[in-house]
Structure 1
Amino acid sequence: MNVALLAPIAWRVPPRHYGPWERVVSLLAEGLVDLGVDVTLFATLDSETRATLDGVCPRPYEEDPDIDAGVWSALHIGYAMERAGRFDVVHNHFDFRPLTYAGLVDTPVVTTIHGFSSERILPAYRAYADRTRYVSISDADRHPALPYAATVWHGIDLEAFTPRTDADDYLLFFGRIHPDKGAADAIEVARRAGRRLVLAGIVQDEGYFREAVEPHLGERVEYVGSVGPAERDRLLGGAAALLHLIHFDEPFGLSVVEAFACGTPVVARPRGSMPELVRDGVDGALVAGVDEAVERLPEVVALDRAAIREGAETRFSRERMAREYLAVYEQIVGGAG
């Protein structure tokens, strides 16, 4: 099997800190290589992989202001799709833009939909539904107007996360600083529970950060910015619990399963994929809001952290993700998809 993986170019593969789509592509590339698949990764040329790296964009546009996102995205996608004939499958992780090439190449195109930014992009997915095969990242994120070949949960590199059977006293918010992600709710839960809170992630909404987060920073609430792999492991592993009190339908939630890999329980609102990922009373709690989060926190922090890690190994390994995607490729190339 000869597979092309088309990654976004906002960040390097793997990302230095933030970049969830790029992180998933990296994990999939390495997992497929381990399975003996011939993989070519189309990504920024500063990317690192055991697959064959190809592409035209020298650096991520989020890290270099001289890289115009629109221009280099077009060049990147065009370069990869012009070489589609070399592969058995092209696996698109770059949202809807590469779909416009799907009818111009003979190679089957698989597209993982990493969530819907809005209903406004749906016409592009519908227009090419008969020329590509869609994969959802959770059952909750399936759109009723689209056909799907499979749902494949993200996998993670379990070796990158250190399981801990103990924890420090702090709670953790790990994600974009944006109203959707519930940082303000996490601050309130920590205040009422009498625990320290650490917030980590990029600031995606400056106004929200200034109004809802910054006034609370101090000895009990710390913002550490966007962190790289080593610090991510330390923060997730040391937390008594991860607070994921989202205000939107989360397509997946990498930080949730990364917390599980450290043995850290998760308190989440039951929106989007959360009821699929969080097993209430086993590796976390699904709560209606701040009041219930505070009420259930003592129960959550007492959960068996070794069992949480064991569940992550079974459900969210990189190897499992790679095997499931390989099965999708084989089905499509065999004519059954």
Structure 2
Amino acid sequence: MSPRRGEGAARYRVMLYCPDRHLVYDGRTPDEAGVGGGITARVRMARALRRLGHRVTMVVNCSRPRRIDGVDYVPLDGVARLSGDVVILTTSGGGLDLTPALALEAQARLRIVWVHGPDRPAGFEALGAEAVYAVSNFIGRIVRLEWGVAGERLFVAYNGYDEASFARAEKRKPRRDPHRLVYFSHPSKGLAAAIGVLRRLRARDLRFALHVFGGPGLWGGTGDGPDPEDGLVDHGLVGQTRLAEELLRSAFSIHLQTRREPGALAIPDALRAGCVLLGSPVGCYPEVIRDGVNGFLVPGDADDDSTQARAAERVLTLAANPPMMDSIRRT
């Protein structure tokens, strides 16, 4: 597919379409209020494509048409046709349903379904997209072996971090606390395990603290944060620049979970910030984390006391060895 030519023309016209309606958002939402990884990934992708010179339109559940960072945001009810050189269709919440796209006229040279998780969205087969984009090899294998998608239609690209957020945060010169742990994801993934690690650490050294970012609101839910306890600081939802600064202040990022991880944004964000990541060997973690090189994999059930105890021991060993911590951060 050759680029369109002409004075000032973008290389390609790209439309990203997501029919999810469980949250109202646009390109400002991740920076101003904080939101889940699926939405944040879409906004980051749109920005990245625009920086490459493409003309980008986001058809999503936004409140009104507006241009943000060079990307045109259009409300779902404001379109009757999906058009462009490339149309990317995706869903990451609200029932995982792509069938609304079937009611729209489609004019595209290439249609791609962007897959964020292991559950096949409704309407996937009927769309008949030419390509499928998976966020990890773990998800790619599921799409190929369980969904029956031919390998030649499939490609994998990991989610990335937003360098601009970290660049802004680094200008404030945040100071890293060697005893500061961070958990920044939906509570269902592994917050209870992270708190279990914290309790074991504080039984040995009261300087350790766990800073929690996110909450049920990440996925459009409601509910309170974790119960207060010593050493636990709940920040709730925060924007991406604030989160980047908080990560730069932290020494460890705790990712113990039983849920098979599709490809969380928390992984590249933690690594970019220089947090030493301790994760469970589930989902995409083994393909991203090389144990002992750029982070650590902690085998065992994340909810089991023995697994949390091993993670705490690893943190204590690393905290006592700053040269090793620096080596891992540089990898």
Deviates more, 1:252-261 or 1:274-283: 274-283
Relative to structure 1, is the Cα distance of residues 303 and 156 closer, same or farther in structure 2, using a 3 angstrom cutoff? farther
What pairs with 1:319-334 in structure 2 (closer than 5 Å)? none
Please state whether the residue corresponding to 1:105 is helix, strand or coil: strand
Distance apart, 1:243 and its partner CA:
0.5
Q: Distance in 1 between matches of 2:276 and 2:287?
A: 15
8 Å CA contact retained: 1:185, 1:245 = yes
Distance apart, 1:252 and its partner CA:
0.6
What is the aligned counterpart of 2:117 among 94, 115, 118? 115
Counterpart check, 1:201 vs 2:214: yes
Counterpart check, 1:240 vs 2:240: no
Distance apart, 1:12 and its partner CA:
2.6
Counterpart check, 1:290 vs 2:308: yes
Partner of 1:91: 88
Relative to structure 1, is the Cα distance of residues 98 and 126 closer, same or farther in structure 2, using a 3 angstrom cutoff? closer
Opposite residue 125 of structure 1, the aligned amino acid is: F
Q: Distance in 1 between matches of 2:38 and 2:309?
A: 33
Relative to structure 1, is the Cα distance of residues 31 and 258 closer, same or farther in structure 2, using a 3 angstrom cutoff? same
8 Å CA contact retained: 1:84, 1:90 = yes
8 Å CA contact retained: 1:18, 1:202 = no
Q: Distance in 2 between matches of 1:102 and 1:134?
A: 20
What is the aligned counterpart of 2:47 among 15, 24, 30? 30
Question: Structure 1, residues 160-218: CA drift from partner, whole Å, max 9, x if none?
Answer: 1256784342211111122xx111111111111122112211236878x68xx41xx23
Partner of 1:150: 155
Counterpart check, 1:177 vs 2:210: no
Opposite residue 308 of structure 2, the aligned amino acid is: V
Distance apart, 1:48 and its partner CA:
5.5
Deviates more, 1:226-235 or 1:47-56: 47-56
Q: Distance in 2 between matches of 1:175 and 1:293?
A: 18
Q: Distance in 2 between matches of 1:47 and 1:245?
A: 39
Aligned alpha-carbon RMSD (Å): 2.9
Distance apart, 1:235 and its partner CA:
2.0
Q: Distance in 1 between matches of 2:210 and 2:15?
A: 42
Opposite residue 158 of structure 1, the aligned amino acid is: E
Distance apart, 1:42 and its partner CA:
2.0
Please state whether the residue corresponding to 2:179 is helix, strand or coil: coil
Relative to structure 1, is the Cα distance of residues 47 and 228 closer, same or farther in structure 2, using a 3 angstrom cutoff? farther
More strand by share: 2
Q: Distance in 2 between matches of 1:79 and 1:46?
A: 8
Opposite residue 290 of structure 1, the aligned amino acid is: Q
Q: Distance in 1 between matches of 2:248 and 2:186?
A: 19
Opposite residue 134 of structure 1, the aligned amino acid is: V
Opposite residue 85 of structure 2, the aligned amino acid is: D
Counterpart check, 1:133 vs 2:140: no
Distance apart, 1:251 and its partner CA:
0.6
Q: Distance in 1 between matches of 2:81 and 2:179?
A: 52
Partner of 2:304: none
Partner of 1:316: none
Counterpart check, 1:251 vs 2:262: yes
The runs of 4+ residues in structure 1 deviating greater than 3 Å are: 121-124, 162-166, 204-207, 298-311
TM-score of the superposed pair, with normalisation by structure 1: 0.72
Relative to structure 1, is the Cα distance of residues 166 and 305 closer, same or farther in structure 2, using a 3 angstrom cutoff? farther
Please state whether the residue corresponding to 1:182 is helix, strand or coil: helix
Opposite residue 50 of structure 2, the aligned amino acid is: V
Counterpart check, 1:49 vs 2:65: no
Relative to structure 1, is the Cα distance of residues 12 and 202 closer, same or farther in structure 2, using a 3 angstrom cutoff? farther
Q: Distance in 2 between matches of 1:46 and 1:309?
A: 41
Q: Distance in 1 between matches of 2:103 and 2:297?
A: 40
Please state whether the residue corresponding to 2:187 is helix, strand or coil: coil
Q: Distance in 1 between matches of 2:163 and 2:239?
A: 16
Partner of 1:191: 199
Unaligned runs of 5+ in 1: 57-75, 312-337
Partner of 2:4: none
Partner of 1:227: 238
Please state whether the residue corresponding to 1:88 is helix, strand or coil: strand
Relative to structure 1, is the Cα distance of residues 156 and 303 closer, same or farther in structure 2, using a 3 angstrom cutoff? farther
More helix by share: 1
Relative to structure 1, is the Cα distance of residues 125 and 307 closer, same or farther in structure 2, using a 3 angstrom cutoff? farther
Opposite residue 93 of structure 1, the aligned amino acid is: T
Q: Distance in 1 between matches of 2:264 and 2:116?
A: 11
How many pairs does the alignment contain?
A: 278
